[in-house]
Amino acid sequence: MEIFGIWIASLLTLCIYSFLYRDNPFYRFAEHLFVGISVGYSIVITIHQGFIPLAWNPLSEAMVALGTQIRGEATPETSEALSGLFKIFPIGIGLLFFARLSPRQAWLIRYPIAILIGFNSGIAIPNVLRAAIFEQTHGTLTPFAQMHAGSMSLDDIIGAVFIGIGLICTLIYFFFSVEHQGPVGWLSKIGIAFLMVGFGAAFGNTVMGRVALLIHRTGFLINDWLGTIF
Amino acid sequence: MKRQGPLALCFLFGIALIFTQFSPHSVSQKLYEEVIDWGLIITPFALVLAVVTLIETHITRVRRRTEHWQYSLVVFVGMAVMVLIGIPFGPQNSIVEWLYNNVQVPMDATMFSLLAFFIASAAYRAFRARTFEATLLLVTAMIVMIGNVPVGDLAWNTVLSWIPLEDGASKARQWILDIPNLASRRGIILGVSLGVISQSIRIILGIERSYLGGGD
């Protein structure tokens, strides 16, 4: 079974690389199979790691507890399990997504969408404030405090000053309430230079990441696949 | 009711999540966990709807016999096999794991590795050192790429041996990543974060309503 798996993986890998020549039936087959398998796997994961533990299990336990309660055999555990009945509300709201399939009732989809958007906005505000704004500002300013305490090397001091200047100039570039002329224009130009270095670094890292994957796939074909033949 | 109801719910959920995150009280924490659970329960339905739409699209392709319609059947087969085995038996099932390890993961990695060729060809065509900014981008990318591989340091130590700095290629790469790259990244992160916060406030307060779509 392991060798069969290596062969399947290798043939699919070659099917995808065949696109480097041009679009062809082998590539299209692999591409569509990839879409099908990926979508299927994401459904399985979502149901097994999200829906079943969070909604299905509490609801079914609550139904059992309700039966016990009706028979008059209630215990503190069954009373607690009854709270799972409230899961019927998010399930009902989630089912409203399917209202889109009916043109007349399609407006009902606004309810789950509005809840999810409100939910994500509510999560975003404190977390973004904490993780992105406070932490990034803290990370930029902390070296200056260390500098003041005299516990930094010259290299680190230059680095911290450079980061501070770069950050201010980059922010000035994105500040459109003032016309970019005179000193603001110059600072904004320095900001562009920092941004270009950032984009160049991101590009270089992306290329190297993809090349590492290419080396890995080539290594797989040469060592694992050809290893099963020769 | 068609617009006010969703707007009110959006406001309630947004406000509930903001306040419960700031309050350490046990009731508040319980409410926070419950609301998070609600969000996690509702989200999978959106995925199922997305899958229904995907199926609809491919059924239309098959029905109309559009070009390459046969490949839509491959999508159905892949999805059906995964779902029919994965949902009753779970993702730890040996067949699901086999498909994941021998079909999905290799194809995922290969698809991304394919980008190496396209990025290289796009860069060859697009990267021209016409302006100062373009030159900066080009030079930075080259240093980061060269500094990433051992041959970069080998070339530095051999060709530029008169410079009193060992392994200069990887050190230059690291300096770029740690200093100017960090500065620009922080600028972008701060800008994006302020945008996210202002947009979130607009959504919660009902100023931004485009997600409700058109109609009444």
Which pLDDT belongs to residue A100? 86
Cα separation, A47 vs B89, in Å, equals 12
pLDDT in tens, A197-211: 999 999 999 999 999
**B-interface mutation test, from A44, A104, A173, most B Cβ less than 10 A away:** A44
Q: Are A167 and B183 in contact (CB under 8 A)?
A: yes
> Which residues does chain B have within 8 Å of residue A97's beta carbon, measured at their own beta carbons?
45-46, 48-49
Cα separation, B191 vs B181, in Å, equals 15
Which pLDDT belongs to residue B202? 96
pTM, to two decimals: 0.84
How many CB atoms are located within 10 Å of the residue B175 CB? 17
Numbers of helices and strands, H then E, in chain A: 10, 0
Residue among B39, B34, B33 at smallest CA distance from B10: B39
Comparing CB atoms, the residue among B78, B90, B187 nearest residue A171 is: B187
Q: How confident is the model at residue A182 (pLDDT cuts 50, 70, 90)?
A: very high
Residue A126 pLDDT > 80: yes
* Among chain B residues, CA nearest to A10: B106
Which pLDDT belongs to residue B128? 76
Segments making up each domain of chain B, as ranges:
1-88, 90-116, 127-205
Which pLDDT belongs to residue A196? 95
Instruction: Estimate to the nearest angstrom the gap between the alpha carbon of A144 and the chain centroid.
Output: 33
**Secondary structure in 3-state letters for A92-126:** HHHHHHHHHHCHHHHHHHHHHHHHHHHHHHHHHHH
Q: What is the mean pLDDT of residues A3-18?
A: 94
Which pLDDT belongs to residue B165? 84
Q: Which residue has the higher pLDDT, A70 or B177?
A: B177
Residue in this structure with the two tokens 């924490």, named with its chain if needed = B29
Q: How confident is the model at residue B177 (pLDDT cuts 50, 70, 90)?
A: very high
Segments making up each domain of chain A, as ranges:
1-101, 105-149, 153-230
Average pLDDT, chain B: 91
DSSP state of B210: G
Whether residue A41 and residue B86 make contact (CB cut-off 8 A), yes or no, is yes
> Which residues does chain B have within 8 Å of residue A213's beta carbon, measured at their own beta carbons?
109-110, 112-113, 116
DSSP state of A85: G
Cα separation, A60 vs A74, in Å, equals 16
Residue A148 pLDDT > 90: no
Comparing CB atoms, the residue among B46, B98, B138 nearest residue A200 is: B138
Mind telling me how many Å the CA of B64 is from chain A's nearest CA?
18
Whether residue B91 and residue A214 make contact (CB cut-off 8 A), yes or no, is no
Q: How many CB pairs under 8 A join A and B?
A: 386
Which pLDDT belongs to residue B23? 85
